[in-house]
Amino acid sequence: MPNYQYCIVEDEGRIRIVTLNRPSVLNAMHSEAHWELDGVWNEFAANPDLWVGIITGAGERAFSAGNDLKVQAAGRRTPRPATGFAGLSHRFDLEKPLIAAVNGIAMGGGFETALACDIIIAAENAVFALPEPRVGLIAGSGVHRLPRMLPQKHALGMLLTGRRVSAEEGQRLGFVNEVVPAGEALAAAKRWAAQILECSPMAIRATKQSVYRSLDEPTLQQAMTTTYPAVQANLDSEDYIEGPRAFSEKRRPDWKNR
């Protein structure tokens, strides 16, 4: 495993755990960090032995406070990778499932990074916000992702005020899957990842791809009659046979990811 400057990367079996590691600035990120994380997630996507990703933040105070405004104010801001904040906010082709384990502050780009994940687990001390307009900016991906996840008025209520939302309210609004005691977000994320790993990795990717791509279809009929690439790959796979065979033989399936 390479030595990373702005994150910690640990692979536990089929799971990649990425920890944003700038706790002295509440895990705020700058361009160099985004490029480093872009490489981390590119490698994760290409590695056939890694099936689920988890992203979290170092320490209990913050998942990520977002953009490092001090770096920007000093005029040292350089272009981000095409994949955006933390190498995730503008990434649209990752079929493997991602879980955000949010501890403490998740604001601006930090919240946008969590929104780019498929599942959000929040500690009780988690706080979410898109406060960019308060400093003359806009939430580049948040203004698009949040209204696609929440009722429009709820999304605009956050976007137009920059207000802070607790973990409990986030669950009530619908963008948080589970709220756990402080300090237990990562453990809960691993529990969710373990449940995902019980399923066929190819079926999981076909499911994720179908969900997101079908949202762009003009009608339900078009969505349901379209065979997406990951769906076809699953139909052609050994795992497509292994699942029913294991069920009939009353044993756990031995997924091969092929």
pLDDT digits (tens, 9 = 90+) for 241-254: 999 999 999 999 99
What is the pTM assigned to this prediction? 0.95
Residue with tokens 């996840």: 149
- Indicate whether 67 belongs to any domain: yes
Report how many domains make up the chain. 2
Query: Are 205 and 172 in the same domain?
Result: no
What six digits make up the tokens of 48? 């056939």
- 132 a catalytic residue: yes
Domain residue limits at 233: 201-248
Question: Does residue 72 surpass a pLDDT of 70?
Answer: no
- Indicate whether 69 belongs to any domain: yes
Query: Are 138 and 218 in the same domain?
Result: no
Question: Does residue 172 surpass a pLDDT of 80?
Answer: yes
Query: Are 26 and 112 in the same domain?
Result: yes
In SS3 terms, 21-64 reads as CCHHHCCCECHHHHHHHHHHHHHHHHCCCCCEEEEEECCCCEEE
Q: How far, in Å, CA of 33 to CA of 67, rounded?
A: 10
Q: Which of 60, 124, 132, 198 is catalytic?
A: 132
- Per-residue pLDDT reduced to its tens digit, 113-166: 999 999 999 999 999 999 999 988 999 999 999 999 999 999 999 999 999 999
Query: Are 21 and 121 in the same domain?
Result: yes
What six digits make up the tokens of 149? 């996840």
**C-alpha 225: how far from chain center:** 28
Query: Are 97 and 207 in the same domain?
Result: no
Question: Does residue 75 surpass a pLDDT of 80?
Answer: no
Q: Identify the band that residue 90 occupies on the pLDDT scale cut at 50, 70 and 90.
A: very high
Q: Which pLDDT score is estimated for 67? A: 87
Query: Are 210 and 149 in the same domain?
Result: no
- Indicate whether 57 belongs to any domain: yes
Q: Which of 10, 36, 112, 169 is catalytic?
A: 112
Query: Are 167 and 213 in the same domain?
Result: no
